[in-house]
Amino acid sequence: MTGEGSGDGSDEGDGVQGDGTGDGAVGYGRPPLDTRFRPGQSGNPAGRPKGPRSLARDLIEELQEPVAQGEGAARETLTRQRAILRALTAKAQEGDPKATAMVLALIDRLSWSDGSFRALMRED
């Protein structure tokens, strides 16, 4: 033997980096130190690819978008959902029968889905 893999535990001449303590050893499951992940660095920075977006998720995001409403000093920022509900209730208040039916249907649906809507109505 010429010093390569003599089996005596010494790492001299067998092509292994480091001092034999396992810190810098290169082999199966042990890449060179300069190519190993740094502490806190992910092996997959982009993460798992996101699946296709659902209609429900898109609708929720659109309804949560802020919109400016009003003129001049009375201008305020609301979510689209809040702006739609405000316009719907205003039309119902003016006497629009379709808007009134929609508001009443929403109240009925929310009051039966869980008790939280009824509790909110009682707070006012």
Sign of the dihedral defined by the CA atoms of residues 28, 33, 36, 41, in that order: positive
Tell me the mean pLDDT in the region 102-114: 84
Cα 91 to the center of its chain, rounded Å: 36
Residue 62 lies in a domain: no
Q: Note whether residue 77 is domain-resident.
A: no
Cα–Cα distance, 17 to 108 (Å, whole number): 73
Number of structural domains in the chain: 1
Residue 30 lies in a domain: no
70 φ, ψ to 5°? 100, 180
Please report whether residue 28 resides in a domain: no
In a domain, 123, yes or no: yes
Domain contains 101: yes
Q: Is residue 52 part of a domain?
A: no
Q: Chain-centre distance of CA 89, in angstroms?
A: 32
Structural domain boundaries enclosing 91: 87-124
- 1-53, pLDDT tens digit by residue? 454 554 555 444 444 444 445 567 889 988 898 888 888 877 777 888 888 88
109 assigned to some structural domain: yes
